[in-house]
Amino acid sequence: MEDVLDLYAAPPDPARPVLCLDERPIVLHAHVRPPLPPAPGRPARQDYEYERCGTGCLALAFDPHAGWRHTWVGERRTAIDFAGWLKDLVDVHYAAAARLRLVVDNLNTHGPGALYEAFPAAEAHRLAQKIEWHYTPKHGSWLNLVELELSVLAGQCLNRRLPDLATVAAEVAAWDARRNAAGATVTWQFTTSTARSKLHRLYPHHDPQ
């Protein structure tokens, strides 16, 4: 826990940006009957019945210091997919960075091994050298700042019927662009000192003085 909290408290370093990354499943739904648009004195309406159109995966990377995020949408979240997201960050979005300080949870695909599963050894090694891993504690994935962004995304973009992955990708790309243009970020208040004073089970010998 303290590793992640100390990372958040450290001053921004453009050469070593902090990136928080996580995934969530998405369920696709389509209207069975066309919704009715709003009219004077009448709100928009939709039938309660819907058609389930499969599932997919959405991954989000969030840079809290820059107020930047990027989303990928696909059919699954395998180690191969995870490695592809990392390569996109290293080679496209942060090509000038010396190293990425990456915050992830303990999912079995979240590790350097994913790079070696996806790419030849030399390429996997090159990418691995550009990433510094920081893991949230077991049962402590709430410490990953990207969880807050995923919650905002769910409330602002995904809380409606989206019938296919192409539609989801287009909608979340527009959401990304709006949030990035606004420089929206998270004001994180939970520090190592706060953890030591409040989490008595983890710090039974904490001296508040």
**Structural domain that includes position 153:** 2-31+48-198
Tokens of residue 9, six digits:
């408290």
- Return d(Cα 51, Cα 29) in angstroms, integer: 6
Task: Enumerate the H helices of the chain as residue ranges.
Answer: 2-9, 79-88, 113-118, 121-128, 146-156, 165-182, 192-198
Confirm whether 41 is domain-assigned. Answer: no
By CB atoms closer than 10 A (0-12, 13-18, 19+), residue 45 is exposed
Rg (CA), the chain: 20
80 contacts: CB under 8 Å, gap ≥ 6: 114, 117, 118
Confirm whether 118 is domain-assigned. Answer: yes
Q: What string of pLDDT tens digits covers the 209 residues of the chain?
A: 788 999 999 999 999 999 999 999 998 877 667 776 777 887 877 766 767 778 899 999 999 999 999 999 999 889 999 999 999 999 999 999 999 999 999 888 999 999 999 999 999 999 999 999 999 988 888 899 999 999 999 999 888 888 899 999 999 999 999 999 999 999 888 877 777 777 767 767 766 55
- Return d(Cα 131, Cα 16) in angstroms, integer: 9
Confirm whether 148 is domain-assigned. Answer: yes
Confirm whether 81 is domain-assigned. Answer: yes
Q: How many domains does the chain have?
A: 1
Confirm whether 25 is domain-assigned. Answer: yes
Confirm whether 204 is domain-assigned. Answer: no
Reported as half-sphere exposure (CB side, CA atoms, 13 A), residue 140 has a value of: 16
List, in sequence order, every residue forming a beta bridge with 59; answer none if it has no partner.
23, 72
Confirm whether 205 is domain-assigned. Answer: no
Confirm whether 37 is domain-assigned. Answer: no
CATH number for the domain harbouring residue 171: 3.30.420.10
